[in-house]
Amino acid sequence: MYAVEMFFSEEIEDYVRQIWYSLAEENLDSSLISIKEIKPHITLATYESLQLESFKKQFISFIEKFEPIDVNFVTLGTFPATGACFLIPTMTEEL
């Protein structure tokens, strides 16, 4: 499986991690802080299979022109199977 993920600036990452710790302190969800390898991110796409070399070329061409964008989160959701909480970004043209 492959995923295309967008990561945040260090400042935003720290802010999201504070939310994760707040959720854990309230006994709502501690799954995200218990996985050391996970970073706050937005999953843009997932693929079961992929023509990797072709995708890499197209993706590199895309990100070379990419500019940072502002993202707002106004909704908190949960994955039913795991109970893990997640923030839902407000969809914008840039996103």
Q: What tens digit of pLDDT does each residue of 47-70 get? A: 999 998 999 999 899 888 888 888
Q: Report, as ranges of residue numbers, the positions in the chain whose pLDDT lies below 70.
A: 83
Q: What pLDDT sits at residue 93?
A: 87
For 80, which DSSP code?
A: T
Domain ranges of the chain: 2-68
Backbone angles phi and psi of 24, in degrees to 5: -65, -40
Q: Rounded to the nearest 5°, which phi and psi values hold at 8?
A: -105, 165
Q: What's the pTM?
A: 0.67
List C-alpha distances in Å: 24 to 1, 30, 93: 29, 5, 33
Q: How far apart are CA 24 and CA 60, in angstroms?
A: 37
